[in-house]
């Protein structure tokens, strides 16, 4: 049993479909009630796909989702923390929107923490106990090349720290981690579908799922790995 956050479109939708195709049962975190793609998938996959309202920026929403999932399954094997937003925050010259930056942090960084905390009782009953975290090279401090995008970069760097702290706590209890940069995709983070990315979310989902569901030689070392299998410092 897997959970994907931000499953309505972009990478989350492609991951959901890839998991279903591979025979997984999937809880799809639905944030956009009016977006039709998940409903279409459900017609195709029936009971293998359960749509769960999920706003990772809202603690109550995450807890309600966890309670609903606990009603329907005994365990969760794979948690994919995928939901993420860009920050429409302005810039230094025109003025920064701090509420937008805070919201980006709330969703991109605290979202993971909320998810893991709420799902722990279900993950605990799995033998895989896998937590897959969609991060970004934008959160890599030592190789940072941008001169703006504070909210997004800061939130992903902090997300990597959440991953590290969770790893230090939960790895000794048997949890396994995948910290991942999916590459530049034509997702919807700008508000409409991107056109300049290196790949479509459906293409990006293939190496992502192979990494999320496959074995790693060294589960005792947390690594930020990209879609080519290369490792990033973080
Ligand atoms: N696209 C890239 O090139 C790229 C590169 C590196 C890393 N990433 C990471 O990959 C992940 C997926 O990106 P993507 O391009 O697939 O993005 P996307 O197309 O925008 O899909 C993300 C989905 O999550 C939803 N969402 C927004 N806020 C949410 C919340 N509070 N709770 C739950 N879901 C929420 C979005 O809804 P709305 O559309 O309404 O916001 C959207 O449906 C993100 O974590 C992103 O940071 C993306």
- pLDDT at residue number 67: 98
Rounded CA separation 111/59 (Å): 8
Instruction: Using the structure block, give the residue that is written with the tokens 């000794």.
Output: 172
The number of the ligand 1 atom at minimal distance from the alpha carbon of 55 is: 32
Residue 63 contacts by C-beta under 8 Å, 6 or more apart in sequence? 118
Q: pLDDT tier at 152 (50, 70, 90 boundaries)? A: very high
- Burial class from Cβ neighbours inside 10 Å (0-12, 13-18, 19+) for residue 64 reads middle
Render pLDDT for 173-226 as a digit per residue (tens, 0 to 9).
999 999 999 999 999 999 999 999 999 999 999 999 999 999 999 999 999 999
Listed by start position, the domains of the chain span 2-232
Residue with the smallest CA separation from ligand 1 atom 47 is 84
Residue with the smallest CA separation from ligand 1 atom 5 is 184
pTM of the model: 0.99
Q: pLDDT tier at 56 (50, 70, 90 boundaries)? A: very high
Inter-residue contact 81 to 131 (CB < 8 Å): yes
CATH number given to 2-232: 3.40.50.720
Run of H or E including 104: helix 98-108
Render pLDDT for 84-113 as a digit per residue (tens, 0 to 9).
999 999 999 999 999 999 999 999 999 999
Rounded CA separation 171/226 (Å): 21
Which of the 8 DSSP states describes residue 167?
H
Centre of ligand 1 from the C-alpha of residue 82, in Å: 7
- pLDDT at residue number 85: 98
């Amino acid at each position: 049993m897997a959970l994907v956050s931000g499953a309505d479109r972009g990478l989350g939708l492609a991951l959901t479909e890839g998991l279903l195709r591979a025979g997984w049962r999937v809880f799809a975190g639905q944030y956009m009630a009016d977006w039709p793609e998940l409903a279409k998938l459900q017609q195709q996959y029936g009971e293998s796909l359960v749509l769960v309202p999920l706003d990772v920026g809202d603690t109550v929403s995450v807890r309600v989702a966890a309670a609903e999932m606990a009603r329907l399954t005994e365990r969760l094997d794979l948690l994919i923390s995928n939901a993420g937003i860009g920050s429409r925050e302005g810039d230094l010259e025109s003025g920064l929107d701090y509420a937008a930056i805070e919201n980006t942090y709330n969703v991109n960084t605290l979202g993971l923490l909320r998810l893991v905390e709420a799902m722990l009782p279900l993950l605990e009953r799995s033998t895989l106990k896998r937590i897959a975290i969609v991060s970004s090279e934008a959160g890599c401090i030592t190789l940072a090349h941008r001169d703006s995008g504070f909210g997004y970069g800061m939130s992903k760097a902090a997300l990597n720290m959440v991953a590290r702290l969770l790893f230090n706590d939960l790895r000794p209890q048997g949890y396994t981690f995948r910290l991942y940069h999916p590459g530049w995709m034509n997702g919807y983070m700008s508000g409409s579908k991107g056109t300049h990315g290196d790949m479509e979310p459906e293409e990006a989902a293939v190496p992502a799922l192979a990494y999320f569901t496959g074995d790693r030689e060294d589960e005792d070392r947390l690594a930020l790995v990209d879609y080519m299998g290369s490792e990033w410092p973080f």
